[in-house]
Amino acid sequence: MNTIIELIKKLFKIKFVRYLFTGGTLFIIDFICFYILNKIIHIDIRISQMISRTVGATVGFLLQKVFVFENYEKKVSKLSFQGFFYVLLVIFNIFFSGFLIFFLEKIPVLNINVFVLKVFNEIIMVTETYIFLNLIFWRKKDVQSEDTNTTDNN
């Protein structure tokens, strides 16, 4: 049992593993929200997608900032800057994911269940978001932190 716990601890030291775990958690939140809106309340597929994406993204900012990228920046100016770009990414993702699921639904050759479309949509969105968060927003902070740590240790 201890070896399993140790393995899990080692895995969670890897940023991409934390990202996948967080992504899975956000997917469950998003999917449940989508299901309730689309199948129980009977809201249009695009609106359901956009609302569920917004809910997931709101929770995602905190989880990704703190848990995945271990970014504990608390300065209002930097937090505002990060939040602003995250909101821009979320807005882009809301409309892009709505367009993507609508587009995938309209391809007659696919003729796929709406929930399978949702899964395809999420795979594309998770990949795109990781690239933006890791390479654009948080990477710069990681480099700055490493520079600061090097300076502080000398």
Query: Is residue 141, in this structure, part of any structural domain at all?
Result: yes
Query: Is residue 154, in this structure, part of any structural domain at all?
Result: no
Under 8 Å CB-to-CB from 93, ≥6 apart: which residues? 53, 57, 125, 128, 129
Rounded to whole angstroms, the Cα distance separating 58 from 87 reads 9
Question: How many domains, the chain?
Answer: 1
pLDDT in tens, 54-68: 888 888 888 888 888
Cβ atoms of residues 29 and 56 within 8 Å: yes
Please tell me the predicted confidence (pLDDT) of residue 39. Answer: 95
Query: Is residue 152, in this structure, part of any structural domain at all?
Result: no
More confident position, 57 or 1: 57
Residue with tokens 């593993």: 17
> Where in the sequence is the domain holding 112, given as residue range(s)?
15-146
Rounded to whole angstroms, the Cα distance separating 2 from 25 reads 24
Query: Is residue 76, in this structure, part of any structural domain at all?
Result: yes
Q: Quick one: pLDDT band at residue 34, thresholds 50, 70, 90?
A: very high
Summary mean pLDDT of the chain: 80
Counting every residue written for the chain, the total comes to: 154
Query: Is residue 107, in this structure, part of any structural domain at all?
Result: yes
Query: Is residue 32, in this structure, part of any structural domain at all?
Result: yes
Residue 126 reports pLDDT greater than 70 = yes
Rounded to whole angstroms, the Cα distance separating 136 from 17 reads 19
Nearest to 70 by CA among 22, 27, 29: 22
* DSSP-assigned letter for residue 109: T
Query: Is residue 58, in this structure, part of any structural domain at all?
Result: yes
Rounded to whole angstroms, the Cα distance separating 85 from 137 reads 8
